[in-house]
A and B are shown apart, each in its own frame.
Chain A
């Protein structure tokens, strides 16, 4: 079946089996391996991509269901070599260890901050509830999103915890 969509601002099309999952289309056909598969059953969030402005799980969606959609993956976040503030936050605040959950986590954080650029800790934690991380205990992921929120509001982020130590 023919499918076409916009991926990271570029119009793409491909010939896929009807049962091809969106995540496999992105990873295998488009070579965008930043979007990960952690469970293929909609529980881990590793495969989260942005579709028409909303975070969706690309492992529980067929490629053909994304026909005509506007998809952003983690590879499409940085612009002109500038990291997205959320990416910067994850780097600055040690929001990742193995990095496997990170692309999905970052996409979820981006959509969260696009809806509310000044979330409370509680709102951040609820907002990324669908993304599992086994490495960080989420502590520094929350700090990373706080950092990004501050940046997006044009404020100076709070100093890193280790800077106070």
Chain B
């Protein structure tokens, strides 16, 4: 890098002045004259035959513009997916509905209140059918979710790329280890429960079809604006360039806004039919039963090791819940878990997850997406093993790490090349920051007083910032869906004739501070004040096509593209400046809004350089006019951040209440562009992991009814539930992008749930408790204590 000053600088966020004054524009804030409003009629049954849909009463209500059923929309085909394995969702369904919340009919009315009243007036007759919710029952195919098809959609087996012979040999090796005299085998079935993402902004979409121009403006709370533009185009026989998607402010996404949804297509359909703008904003209950959910695994983890802490093999076998229909990435989520199935360890790992359907809402990417689940099983079982052999859990981990000496060139036991890593240094830093031996001594002293204090530790490696395209080419068809599908970053940097600059980029952020970060990268590269730089994202008309913002990819991939486009603009500007200053290009440097000849006071401002760029007659011979550049960054690999988290808890044995006393995070995401933003991402990620560990649970009854569909029974952590977090970092730069950055959006979540569970189990060790399934709510902890005492 020619300049590293962009890294580590703190700039107050440029998005904030609007947001703190209530001037941020989210989708539901958009107002267009004559807008009609949508309400959906949804199935109250998990599995039922729809015998009739009577829309007449609703259609006759004053202010109702239309009522649509599957008969009106079936010709459009099912909902598209980027990984279309398994049955795809019908846009509307008046055949056999497959989960509570499935859309049966759509009402459009002049007023949102009227739309809801009319939806209530649609009369649907259902004949309930038996539902399957339990994963083991689903695996047995006893009750098929889709008639005539197996419930198992795919089985992911690792190491990646191993053929049957190699897998057999691996399993035999682990079996042989189990027979050793000094073998210690620890095995546990654990549930990684389903979660509801719950961004505080409900999803919202508004479609404005302009018949005279044959084009769409779509406003949507989405993480993938380009994909939505492509999809809308496909449904209505239009090109991507006839559809503009604007994702303005997006109030949190966490993966659940990384789908094209049937409601988005249906709202567009209604706008075309009715010739007016049409808007729909989901209710909180709809967010629970018709926006994707995450996690939902049951699996058995087994560690085979020696009495002195050498792990000889790890096995994970389980079932992952896909829900009723596959949406954007559904079956690919457990595959992301496979990537990190062996964590940061070097031991042989066998990994198998069966992906099964159930009569529940679809699962897909929720913060971490497969990786928190994989890390949970691994870090829980390694901890149980450490406890069994009576060894310090930090020591066991250190003993089994991939060594820093193995980089560059390390390949994980799951078969994936990793960029950079130094796990032991990170672990040591965490132990030091936390005061590990003091913590253990304090815990022991508390125990001696009869208190249940526990210290939990876990480490993780994450994989994110996906690329290259080939690495994740699973052989599925992408182009057919008109979605930008390559795992590249794309960015356009333009300097205007007055010396201000605009960067347009295909990312679709939802709180990550891109307005600030991209301006920092461009400002640093050009020596321009960030105030002179405008960032355009989330707008398919103005930004280059991109796969969007998810998988902790924006800085490492799109940020790198932004960096490279900036470099191209700077190189051209240097030629112009050298010409104007009669100096040599190599002697030009950029700072404080100007180009300067090194070691002299001869300089020319960006305004002058830019003005010249747009007056070709003033340019050096052969140089094209204009001052802008586009770059596509195609990363050579994904990035592999890592870290160590430590939690201290106290359990009240009378109530089962868990008090989280301290939480320490030592993360390594390579170079850091903004420490403020990076720490903020980690804080939020940790809170979501703690949420899973202690509070959150998407519970379906045996009949497939969602029992936690509101925020009364789906419990999110509040400020009063959490401590302040103690964060620090190690820095091991990535070698696959010019910024040396890795991703940080999901790391906090990937590191935290098991850290908390490890701490609670540690607290209850004197009682002989070895495992409690999440969420560790008081009643469940109390029950575990009673069972242990019995």
Whether B679 contacts A83 by the Cβ 8 Å rule is: no
Please indicate the chain A residues that have their CB under 8 angstroms from the CB of B208 in the complex. none
How far in angstroms is the closest Cβ of chain A from B765?
A: 28
Known: A97-B511, A99-B24. A133 touches B676 (CB 8 A): no
B142 part of interface (Cβ distance < 8 Å): no
A22 part of interface (Cβ distance < 8 Å): no
How far in angstroms is the closest Cβ of chain A from B73?
A: 27
B600 part of interface (Cβ distance < 8 Å): no
Q: How far is the CA of A98 from the CA of B252 in the complex (A)?
A: 6
Please indicate the chain B residues that have their CB under 8 angstroms from the CB of A165 in the complex. 675
Q: How far is the CA of A90 from the CA of B250 in the complex (A)?
A: 18
How far in angstroms is the closest Cβ of chain A from B120?
A: 14
Whether A91 contacts B22 by the Cβ 8 Å rule is: no
B17, B675, B711: which contacts A44 (Cβ < 8 A)?
A: B711
Please indicate the chain A residues that have their CB under 8 angstroms from the CB of B15 in the complex. 99
Q: List 7 A-B contacts (CB under 8 A).
A: A36-B251, A41-B710, A77-B21, A97-B252, A132-B200, A136-B687, A139-B722
Whether B283 contacts A98 by the Cβ 8 Å rule is: no
Interface string of A70-93 (1 = CB under 8 A from B): 000111011000010001001110
Interface string of B5-28 (1 = CB under 8 A from A): 000001011011101111111101
Please indicate the chain B residues that have their CB under 8 angstroms from the CB of A100 in the complex. 26, 199-201, 249, 251-252
Whether A40 contacts B12 by the Cβ 8 Å rule is: no
Q: How far is the CA of A33 from the CA of B19 in the complex (A)?
A: 11
Known: A19-B113, A132-B200. A83 touches B20 (CB 8 A): yes
A64 part of interface (Cβ distance < 8 Å): no
Known: A43-B712, A126-B720, A135-B511. A38 touches B201 (CB 8 A): yes
Known: A91-B17, A97-B511, A99-B251. A129 touches B201 (CB 8 A): no
Q: How far is the CA of A139 from the CA of B199 in the complex (A)?
A: 18
A34 part of interface (Cβ distance < 8 Å): yes
Whether A43 contacts B22 by the Cβ 8 Å rule is: no
Known: A134-B200, A137-B683, A165-B675. A125 touches B20 (CB 8 A): no
- Considering only CB atoms, which chain B residue lies closest to A105 in the complex? B719
Interface string of A116-149 (1 = CB under 8 A from B): 0000010011101111111111111110000000
A17, A98, A102: which contacts B250 (Cβ < 8 A)?
A: A98
Whether A91 contacts B26 by the Cβ 8 Å rule is: no
Known: A36-B201, A41-B710, A132-B200. A102 touches B722 (CB 8 A): no
Whether A39 contacts B719 by the Cβ 8 Å rule is: no
B376 part of interface (Cβ distance < 8 Å): no
- Considering only CB atoms, which chain A residue lies closest to B198 in the complex? A134
Q: How far is the CA of A33 from the CA of B680 in the complex (A)?
A: 26
Whether B17 contacts A136 by the Cβ 8 Å rule is: no
Please indicate the chain B residues that have their CB under 8 angstroms from the CB of A40 in the complex. 283-284
Q: How far is the CA of A135 from the CA of B675 in the complex (A)?
A: 16
Q: How far is the CA of A161 from the CA of B20 in the complex (A)?
A: 21
A32 part of interface (Cβ distance < 8 Å): yes
Shortest beta-carbon contacts, A-B, top 8: A34-B22, A100-B251, A98-B511, A99-B19, A137-B687, A97-B511, A74-B22, A137-B683
Whether A34 contacts B23 by the Cβ 8 Å rule is: yes
Please indicate the chain A residues that have their CB under 8 angstroms from the CB of B265 in the complex. none
Whether B718 contacts A44 by the Cβ 8 Å rule is: no
Other than the given A36-B26, A126-B720, 17 more pairs (CB < 8 A) read: A33-B26, A46-B200, A73-B22, A83-B20, A92-B12, A96-B19, A96-B20, A97-B684, A99-B251, A99-B511, A131-B719, A132-B200, A136-B680, A137-B685, A160-B10, A162-B676, A163-B10
B513 part of interface (Cβ distance < 8 Å): yes
How far in angstroms is the closest Cβ of chain A from B666?
A: 13
B725 part of interface (Cβ distance < 8 Å): yes
Q: How far is the CA of A82 from the CA of B622 in the complex (A)?
A: 52
Known: A40-B283, A41-B710. A98 touches B201 (CB 8 A): yes
Interface residue ranges, A against B (CB under 8 Å): 17, 19, 27, 31-41, 43-44, 46, 73-75, 77-78, 83, 87, 90-92, 94, 96-103, 106, 121, 124-126, 128-142, 160-163, 165
B776 part of interface (Cβ distance < 8 Å): no
Whether B202 contacts A38 by the Cβ 8 Å rule is: yes
Whether B679 contacts A161 by the Cβ 8 Å rule is: yes
Please indicate the chain A residues that have their CB under 8 angstroms from the CB of B31 in the complex. 31
Interface string of B682-722 (1 = CB under 8 A from A): 01111110000000000000000000001110001011101
Count contacts between A and B, CB distance < 8 Å: 181
Please indicate the chain A residues that have their CB under 8 angstroms from the CB of B249 in the complex. 98-100
> Which residues 33-83 of B sit at the A interface, judged by CB distance below 8 A?
none
Whether B719 contacts A128 by the Cβ 8 Å rule is: yes
A75, A132, A138, A163: which contacts B711 (Cβ < 8 A)?
A: A132
Please indicate the chain B residues that have their CB under 8 angstroms from the CB of A91 in the complex. 12-13, 16-17, 20
How far in angstroms is the closest Cβ of chain A from B647?
A: 14
How far in angstroms is the closest Cβ of chain B from A84?
A: 9
How far in angstroms is the closest Cβ of chain B from A86?
A: 9
How far in angstroms is the closest Cβ of chain A from B555?
A: 15
Known: A19-B113, A90-B16, A92-B12. A134 touches B22 (CB 8 A): no
B756 part of interface (Cβ distance < 8 Å): no
Whether B716 contacts A97 by the Cβ 8 Å rule is: no
B261 part of interface (Cβ distance < 8 Å): no
B677 part of interface (Cβ distance < 8 Å): yes
Whether B680 contacts A140 by the Cβ 8 Å rule is: yes
Known: A41-B710, A138-B687. A98 touches B719 (CB 8 A): no
Known: A38-B202, A46-B200, A99-B19. A94 touches B676 (CB 8 A): yes
Q: How far is the CA of A137 from the CA of B511 in the complex (A)?
A: 13
B17, B22, B688, B711: which contacts A41 (Cβ < 8 A)?
A: B711
Please indicate the chain A residues that have their CB under 8 angstroms from the CB of B686 in the complex. 137
Please indicate the chain A residues that have their CB under 8 angstroms from the CB of B688 in the complex. 134, 137
How far in angstroms is the closest Cβ of chain B from A16?
A: 11
How far in angstroms is the closest Cβ of chain B from A94?
A: 5
Whether B20 contacts A33 by the Cβ 8 Å rule is: no
B466 part of interface (Cβ distance < 8 Å): no
How far in angstroms is the closest Cβ of chain B from A76?
A: 9
Please indicate the chain B residues that have their CB under 8 angstroms from the CB of A136 in the complex. 680, 683-684, 687
Q: How far is the CA of A105 from the CA of B398 in the complex (A)?
A: 42
Q: How far is the CA of A54 from the CA of B388 in the complex (A)?
A: 55
Whether A162 contacts B675 by the Cβ 8 Å rule is: yes
Please indicate the chain B residues that have their CB under 8 angstroms from the CB of A75 in the complex. 21-23
Please indicate the chain B residues that have their CB under 8 angstroms from the CB of A141 in the complex. 719
B151 part of interface (Cβ distance < 8 Å): no
Whether A137 contacts B725 by the Cβ 8 Å rule is: yes
- Considering only CB atoms, which chain A residue lies closest to B201 in the complex? A100
- Considering only CB atoms, which chain A residue lies closest to B250 in the complex? A98
Q: How far is the CA of A121 from the CA of B28 in the complex (A)?
A: 34
How far in angstroms is the closest Cβ of chain B from A144?
A: 10
Whether B716 contacts A134 by the Cβ 8 Å rule is: yes
Whether B718 contacts A32 by the Cβ 8 Å rule is: no
Whether B711 contacts A160 by the Cβ 8 Å rule is: no
B17, B711, B724: which contacts A39 (Cβ < 8 A)?
A: B711
> Which residues 505-547 of B sit at the A interface, judged by CB distance below 8 A?
510-513
B29 part of interface (Cβ distance < 8 Å): yes
Whether A38 contacts B200 by the Cβ 8 Å rule is: yes
Q: How far is the CA of A112 from the CA of B91 in the complex (A)?
A: 46
B550 part of interface (Cβ distance < 8 Å): no
How far in angstroms is the closest Cβ of chain B from A106?
A: 7
Whether A133 contacts B710 by the Cβ 8 Å rule is: no
Please indicate the chain B residues that have their CB under 8 angstroms from the CB of A97 in the complex. 252, 511-513, 680-681, 684
B254 part of interface (Cβ distance < 8 Å): yes
Q: How far is the CA of A99 from the CA of B221 in the complex (A)?
A: 14
How far in angstroms is the closest Cβ of chain B from A126?
A: 5
Q: How far is the CA of A147 from the CA of B405 in the complex (A)?
A: 45
Whether B20 contacts A102 by the Cβ 8 Å rule is: yes
Whether B719 contacts A35 by the Cβ 8 Å rule is: no
Please indicate the chain B residues that have their CB under 8 angstroms from the CB of A87 in the complex. 20-21
